[in-house]
Structure formats: structure tokens, C-alpha cells
Amino acid sequence: MRIGILGAGGMADALGTQWAGAGHEVMISGRDAARTAVRAAAMTAQAGARAGAQAGAQTGVRAGSWAEAAGFGDVVMVAVLAAGIVPVLKEAGAALRGKPVIDVTNAPGPDKYDPTRPLANLIGDLSGGHVVKAFNLCHVDVWRMTPPVFGGRPLAVPLCGDDAAAKKTVGTLAADLGCTPVDGGGLARATLLEATAAFMIGLWFGGADAQAVLPPLASSGTHLPG
Ligand SMILES: NC(=O)c1ccc[n+]([C@@H]2O[C@H](COP(=O)([O-])OP(=O)(O)OC[C@H]3O[C@@H](n4cnc5c(N)ncnc54)[C@H](OP(=O)(O)O)[C@@H]3O)[C@@H](O)[C@H]2O)c1
């Protein structure tokens, strides 16, 4: 699959390197062409090391402009800071119309989350793409793990979006990381993922074990007798 990434920061690096190592063609993009090219070269080296012995593995990561990355991808990931969404999609948006668009964005801080302005809807409006919100609940270092498994349990990745085919595509990419994709419902529920990220990040930064606030499935109420 060809994956265009709007962004050349941590999330672009972590997820793009994994997907390149899994044999996908990846193009990243950023505001500074030289810096983006350096990042792409580092990702190529890293992905090549991960692909290891896979004969003929295609691990090259390219660098391009916002519009080039948007045009390159069969699927395109938006991995810029919230402040960059409008300017970046104004440049790249037209090429995203009708494509699966992965939205990993979060508010710039837990106290900055605005439930009246979901980032996923903003991205949908500016791109005309089939937005799937995903990968926004975990720190970038989790996405560098191969695979992200905690306590013997593969990480589950909720996906929120309205287009079934786009969700299937993004689910495949989650599975490529060794994760379990979980249908999180339609795009209207993406704001719940954004709220969850804000809430959990607030707990983590306050020093709490956010994972401990949820019971296991067996005690969720859906599995209790009676
Ligand atoms: N880091 C995490 O742990 C994590 C986890 C889940 C979700 N997220 C979300 O994923 C997105 C990307 O995060 P990241 O960690 O990859 O961020 P990052 O390392 O700081 O990279 C930010 C990217 O946004 C681009 N950008 C474009 N316009 C911008 C503008 N006006 N202001 C600032 N940056 C602009 C930057 O471009 P240049 O390359 O030109 O600088 C860069 O490529 C964010 O929305 C973040 O909330 C992050």
C-alpha cells in the first residue's frame, strides 16, 4: 500500500517506520524540505534494519511536500500538531478527496480539549476524505514497539469512521503493527476518542496509572450473571 503522511515528527516517524518495515511505500512531509529528507533517510535505515532478512523488502521512505504526500498515498495519515491542521490541509486537502484519511491528532494538551470542535470533523471538512480516527490514545513510543504487547495482551486500537472500506484499510495497518483493530463506531464518536485521550493524558501526567481505572472485560457488567 502507498501511505502518504502529512507530518515529519514523532508520530510520522514511529508509524511510518513500522509500515515501511512491513513492506508499504511511505512518503512523509513537513514544512522544511531538508529536515524532512533527513528524517526520511533515517526512517529508511531503521525500516531496513527491521525488515531484516525479508528478501527484496521495499523499505524506502520518501520525502515530499504536503501536496505530494497527499497525492502519493492510497491512504493518507494526518500527523501534524492541531495548530497545523488548517494550513496543512489547505495545501494538501484537494488530493485527499475520497481517500481513507487516518487522523491521529489530539488537542495540544489535556486542558486544551474542546468538545465543541472535534479535530476529526475539521479534518473531514477540509479534506473531503473518509476520515478514520485512530492511534491517538497512546504515546509515540508505544508505536515504536514491535509489537506493542502489554501483559501478554496485544494493544487494541479503536477506529472511528463512517466509511467501512476506509476502516478496513486502517484496521489492516493496525494489524501490521501487531495490534488488534477494534471498531469504535462512526465518525461522530471520534470526539469521544479525543476526549478519552485528553482525560487519560491528564491522569498520566498527574502520575496516575490510567489503565487501572478500567476493570477487565469479565467485570464490565456485560459478563456478569443475571
Ligand atoms: N507524540 C505523541 O505521543 C502523540 C500520541 C498520539 C497522538 N499525537 C498527535 O499526533 C500529532 C503529531 O504529533 P507528533 O508527536 O508527531 O508531533 P511533532 O513531533 O511535534 O511533529 C509535529 C508535526 O506537525 C507539523 N506541523 C505543520 N504545521 C504546523 C504548525 N503550524 N505548527 C506546528 N507543527 C506543525 C510539523 O512540521 P515540521 O516537520 O515542519 O516541523 C511536524 O511534522 C499531534 O496532533 C499529536 O497531538 C501525538
CATH number at residue 78: 3.40.50.720
Cα gap 139→131, rounded to integer Å? 21
**Within-domain flag for 57:** yes
- The number of beta carbons lying within 10 Å of the beta carbon of residue 182 is 12
Cα gap 27→216, rounded to integer Å? 39
Ligand 1 atom with the smallest distance to the CA of 82 is 45
Answer left, alpha or beta for residue 152, where phi above 0 means left and psi between -120 and 50 means alpha. left
**Within-domain flag for 217:** no
User: How many domains does the chain contain in total?
Assistant: 1
- Over residues 161-185, the pLDDT tens digits come to 999 999 999 999 999 999 999 999 9
pLDDT score recorded for residue 224: 62
Q: 213 has which bridge partners?
A: none
pLDDT of 17 over the 60 cut: yes
Ligand 1 atom with the smallest distance to the CA of 39 is 39
Report the DSSP pairing between strands 156-161 and 130-133. Answer: antiparallel
CA 178 / ligand 1 centre spacing (Å): 24
Ligand 1, atom 21: closest residue by C-alpha:
9
**Within-domain flag for 225:** no
- Over residues 33-92, the pLDDT tens digits come to 999 999 999 999 999 887 764 544 556 899 999 999 999 999 999 999 999 999 999 999
**Within-domain flag for 218:** no
**Within-domain flag for 118:** yes
The CA R_g of the chain, rounded to the nearest whole Å, is 17
pLDDT score recorded for residue 57: 52
Ligand 1, atom 20: closest residue by C-alpha:
9
Domain membership of residue 38 as a residue range: 2-210
**Within-domain flag for 162:** yes
**Within-domain flag for 68:** yes
pLDDT > 70 fraction of the chain, expressed in percent and rounded? 94
- Over residues 108-136, the pLDDT tens digits come to 998 999 999 999 999 999 999 999 999 99
DSSP secondary structure letter of residue 181: E
